[in-house]
Amino acid sequence: MNRYSAMVATFAAAVLIAAAFAAGAQPSPQAAPPAAAPAPAGPAAAPYAMTMGDLMNTLVQPRHAKLGLAGQAGNWPLAGYALVEIRQAFAGIAKAVPKFRGYPFAELADAALSQPLNALQDAIKLQDPQKFAAAYDQLTAGCNACHATLFHSFVVIKVPDASAFPNQKFNTGP
């Protein structure tokens, strides 16, 4: 049995046990656990190490867009959530990539983004669309300044003018 088949069999067994438990059945004490899958032959594949571009594209850019869209829609709870998420994304990246191109990532991000992120937090608390727009523009400018500092001035972030998330509602109305 190959590794994939063993994984599918284990998953199927778990689903059946969960279904029986949900129906009120008690697991039998004599039931043997599923057999462990045999170790794959040959050298193990190295885990994929995400690049800075991967991290920015998957963790930061979507949160930047969602933060902007939520603020534009006046959805202050969602904007507050997106702000927390973008801060956490930068903190995680700083741990994963302490230095990028010889520069300390956390210090660069802090210098470029702490003031705009704090201004966004204040605007969200006040539910002030004008202050939010100004702070969001500062955040976007901070992103682009950091890109230029790290020789990526060709990566230009902008205020979103459309949603890339058709499956998420940003406004608070019906």
Residue numbers of the domain that contains 95: 52-149
116's CB contacts (< 8 A; 6+ apart) are: 135, 136, 138, 139, 141, 142
Q: Per-residue pLDDT tens for 127-172?
A: 999 999 999 999 999 999 999 999 999 999 999 999 999 899 999 8
Beta pairing class for 99-100 and 103-104: antiparallel
pLDDT, one tens digit per residue, over 68-106 is 999 999 999 999 999 999 999 999 999 999 999 999 999
Q: Structurally, how many domains does the chain consist of? A: 2
Q: CATH number, domain at 106? A: 1.20.120
Same domain, 144 and 124: yes
Residue pair 94/106 in contact by the 8 Å Cβ criterion: yes
Q: Of the candidates 137, 138, 123, which has an alpha carbon nearest to the alpha carbon of residue 74?
A: 123
Give me the pLDDT at residue 21, please.
38
